[in-house]
Amino acid sequence: MIEVKTLKAPDAELFALCIRAARLSHRSTGDAKKDHALAVRLAKAGDEHAKALRGLIVYTEINAPRYWWAEMDTYRIGAEPLGSESTMHDRPELSGAELVKYKESITEGTMQRRIWMISYQTLRRMHKQRRAHRLPEWRTFCRWIESLPYSEVIVNE
């Protein structure tokens, strides 16, 4: 089963900065009370209107089976893998041919831990596409998305 940990999530200062960027096209100085409503409205209007969500970044540590990672690799725009557990360095005693044989024997269910940074714009797309997915790992991942600060700009429909 998948484990998802938030390492660093957007705070109020970063949210305000991103909304300030969104308000530029409206030549508006903004009203803090209306910031959430603006962010939700822009997110509902689509990616081309919600560019400021690219600035809301979450850093996460995910421990998931390799078959899930194959699907996660679909999301390359606005998501960046920063590091992962190695399947090469954990067996330094193996020769080249032995290492290849070892790697070929790794099953799709083998858990692998990775750290990613993901924009809220990309999380919105993931949530929309995967919240009712038949793999339970995706539904767990989407519940994690729903738990993030300012998740109302991600999960609104």
pTM score, whole prediction: 0.90
Interatomic CA distance for residues 4 and 113, integer angstroms = 10
Please give the span between the terminal C-alpha atoms of the chain, in angstroms, as a whole number.
28
What element of type H or E holds 70?
helix 66-72
What are the tens digits of pLDDT across the range 78-98?
999 999 998 888 888 989 899
Please report the pLDDT score of residue 29 as a whole number: 67
Q: Which are the contacts of 129, defined by CB distance < 8 A and separation ≥ 6?
A: none
Overall average pLDDT of the 30-42 stretch = 75
Interatomic CA distance for residues 18 and 51, integer angstroms = 9
Residue ranges and CATH numbers for the domains of the chain are 3-155 (3.30.1360.170)
